[in-house]
């Protein structure tokens, strides 16, 4: 089986490659931009399967399909919101939200193999998908959280939040007045509930509010250290593979 990855973040591409190869498959090629992909497709036969990131460093990956008649099956690997993606999910396409879960990856590949056996691929309407991504479905994001304080329930408005963090298998909300509240959902769930313009997941442990960032410092291994007004329990470090996205997020 001929499989390629089109992903502009090389660490993310290598991580996906390791996960795919762990399932017993080989990645034949990794491409990192629209231009590189166009050059590669012009001199190579089309693969059986493409793992495709939607937003590449030099544009949307749909530009590839506008110029080349791609017949390969496609599995999206994307940070786009799950609910918008559901609006245009086709039988011939699956998608994996970053960070990619290994079980979901295996399910997607199994679906692809089953479709091969049934010869069930349909024509991919990339123009429709592109329009939906550029004008995604409007989603309502959390404006407050209810937390338990003793025998009472307290309402914490989202503009009071400095960060969310995980610790000892628990998920906590940290407020600007230096208080911590335990939530009853995982950090992964919290990430889907927050407006991406105002909150960013910098690593596996932290989600940070943009307006809470007091200072950004250079750190070891090309990472960044964030200084927050009241949270001082641990260092708040932007993971190396998230630095570029973080810089784009802060503008």
Tens-digit pLDDT profile for residues 107-140 = 888 888 887 766 555 445 566 566 655 555 556 7
Q: What is the 3-state secondary structure (H, E, C) of 165-226?
A: EEECCEEEEEECCCCEEEECCCHHHHHHHCCCCCEEECCCCEEEEHHHCCEEEECHHHCEEE
Tens-digit pLDDT profile for residues 170-215 = 999 999 999 999 999 999 889 989 998 999 999 999 999 999 999 9
Q: Is 10 helix (H, G, I), strand (E, B) or coil?
A: helix
With a cut of 90, say whether residue 217 has pLDDT above it: yes
State how far Cα 223 lies from the chain centre: 19
153 Cβ contact partners less than 8 Å away, ≥ 6 residues apart? 146, 147
The domain 3-134 having CATH identifier 3.40.50.2300: the answer here is yes
Architecture per CATH, domain 144-250, reads as Beta Barrel (2.40)
Identical fold between 3-134 and 144-250: no
d(CA 190, CA 115): 34
d(CA 200, CA 184): 20
Of the two residues 82 and 236, the one the predictor is more confident about is: 236
241 Cβ contact partners less than 8 Å away, ≥ 6 residues apart? 9, 11, 12, 15
Q: Count of residues for the chain?
A: 251
Q: DSSP secondary-structure letter at 57?
A: T
User: % helix / strand / coil in the chain, to the nearest 5?
Assistant: 35, 30, 35
With a cut of 50, say whether residue 87 has pLDDT above it: no
210 vs 90, 98, 185, 235, 251, CA distance in Å? 35, 20, 22, 17, 11
Span of 18-22, 84-88, 96-100, 212-216 with lowest mean pLDDT: 84-88
Q: What is the 3-state secondary structure (H, E, C) of 118-142?
A: HCCCCCCCHHHHHHHHHCCCCCCCC
What is the DSSP secondary-structure string of 41-52? HHHSPPPSEEEE
- Asked if residues 31 and 77 have their Cβ atoms less than 8 Å apart, the reply is no
pLDDT of residue 96: 80
For the chain, the structural domain boundaries read: 3-134, 144-250
With a cut of 90, say whether residue 225 has pLDDT above it: yes
Query: Which is nearest to 233 in space by CA: 200, 198, 202, 205?
Result: 205
215-218 vs 199-201, strand pairing mode: unpaired
């Amino acid at each position: 089986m001929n499989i390629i990855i089109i992903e502009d973040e090389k660490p993310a591409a290598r991580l996906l490659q390791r996960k795919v190869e762990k399932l017993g498959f080989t990645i034949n090629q990794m491409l990192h931009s629209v231009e590189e992909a166009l050059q590669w497709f012009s001199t190579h036969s089309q693969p059986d399967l493409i793992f495709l990131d939607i937003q590449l460093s030099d544009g949307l990956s749909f530009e590839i399909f506008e110029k080349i008649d791609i017949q390969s099956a496609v599995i999206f690997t994307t940070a786009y919101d799950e609910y918008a993606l559901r609006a245009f999910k086709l039988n011939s396409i699956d998608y994996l939200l970053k960070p990619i879960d290994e079980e979901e990856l295996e399910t997607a590949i199994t679906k692809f193999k089953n479709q091969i056996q049934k010869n069930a691929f349909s024509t991919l309407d990339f123009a429709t998908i592109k329009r939906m991504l550029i004008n995604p479905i409007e989603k309502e994001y959390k404006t407050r959280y209810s937390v338990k304080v003793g025998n009472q329930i307290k309402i914490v408005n989202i503009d009071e939040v400095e960060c969310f963090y995980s610790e000892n298998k628990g998920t906590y909300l940290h407020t600007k007045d230096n208080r911590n509240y335990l939530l009853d959902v995982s950090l992964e769930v919290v990430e889907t509930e927050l407006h991406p313009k105002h909150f960013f997941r910098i690593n596996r442990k932290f989600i940070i509010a943009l307006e809470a960032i007091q200072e950004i410092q250079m750190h070891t291994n090309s990472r960044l250290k964030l200084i927050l007004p009241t949270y001082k329990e641990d260092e708040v470090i932007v993971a190396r593979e998230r630095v570029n996205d973080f810089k784009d997020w802060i503008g």
